[in-house]
Amino acid sequence: MSTGFKRPRYTQSPNDLFDKHLKEMGLAETKVVMAIVRYTFGYHQTECEITVRRLAEITGLSQNGVMAGAKKAEERGLIQKINKGRQSTVWKAIISASEGEARPPQKVRQPASEGEALLKKGLKKKESLTPSSHNGTELNALWTHLIQEWKRLFPDKPQPRPGNTTLKKKLKARSKNPEFIDGWREALYLASASPSLQKDSWFNMTYFLKNDEHFQKCLERWMTWKDIRDHGYDPAKKEQAPRNLTEERLAEQGYTMEEILNGQ
């Protein structure tokens, strides 16, 4: 059973969704609208391309349930469904033209997640890609940021070459997943906090980018059991655990892991 939300990463959402419409919406309609809000306003855009099947996975509804909820939301004027062929669907979040709200959300910097907070102390935060807009230039920028973070967090591991086309292809595949775009820095940071992953040679950039499951494993700290068994390091009991390599490097720079996690 869940014990609460993860640290918020702040998806923008219209106040009137909660203040005006929510009390009138059924379960399916609410789930569909919340999903569309997540993948539109959450990435500072008004349109997103998601299949009905994927929406069903996100919301826990059947595909028929998604279509029924979407129909209600369209009738309410909250979203618009735009078919692009048999397999592709674009969903648009409707912004009221009244009260001066005709402009779409502006592209702004997203608040830092746990991993992104490592960029403090003069380290400039990098712009995020949106899941539907990565092009060659943006992919190259993301690749540059990724190998810079890898070098900083894993200085004792093999460093990927900037011209490694195989890894760049894997990154391109991962960048289609909005969860990867939103949390790759946090995943790397959490992995770097594991003494086991710092020392084990099998954990490298190829492993990290191989598939979405490996990225999610890093977010879930799946090697905690080995950190406890082999290194006496339990992230849930930091006061009893020895400092790991990442904490030592942070201390050398004048700040602690707690400060970073709290975004101070």
Residue 110 pLDDT class (50, 70, 90 cuts): very low
pLDDT surpasses 70 at 239: no
What domains lie within the chain, and their CATH numbers?
Answer: 15-93 (1.10.10.10), 116-261 (no CATH)
Q: What is the pLDDT of residues 44-78, one digit of tens each?
A: 788 888 888 889 989 999 989 999 999 999 999 99
Mean predicted confidence (pLDDT) in 157-184: 90
pLDDT computed for residue 1 by the predictor? 55
Copy the structure tokens of residue 63. Answer: 């595909």
Tell me what pLDDT residue 248 has. 57
Q: Vertex 128, ends 127 and 134: CA angle to 5°?
A: 115
* pTM for this model (two decimals): 0.46
In this structure, are residues 231 and 198 in contact, taking their beta carbons and an 8 Å threshold? no
- What is the rounded CA–CA span in Å between residue 110 and residue 220? 22
Residue 264 scores a pLDDT above 50: no
Supply angle C-alpha 159, 160, 165, rounded to 5.
Answer: 175
The residue with tokens 């200085």 is: 155
Question: At residue 183, does pLDDT exceed 90?
Answer: no
Q: Which parts of the chain fold into alpha helices (H)? A: 15-16, 27-39, 52-59, 63-76, 136-153, 165-174, 178-192, 195-199, 205-209, 212-219, 224-231, 245-252, 257-261
For the chain, give percent helix, strand, coil, nearest 5. Answer: 55, 5, 40
* CA distance linking residue 228 with residue 99, whole number of Å: 56
Q: Nearest Cα to 230, choosing from 219, 244, 216, 217?
A: 244
Q: Is the pLDDT of residue 160 over 60?
A: yes
Written as six digits, the tokens of 169 are: 């292809």
Distance of CA 71 to the CA centre of its chain: 28
Token reading at 186: 């946090």
In tens, the pLDDT along 9-28 reads 677 788 889 999 999 999 99
In whole angstroms, what is the distance from residue 93 CA to residue 73 CA?
Answer: 10
Q: Is 138 buried (19+), middle (13-18) or exposed (0-12) by CB count in 10 A? A: middle
pLDDT surpassing 50 at residue 122:
no
Both tokens assigned to 189 = 């940071």
pLDDT band of residue 112 (cuts 50, 70, 90) is very low
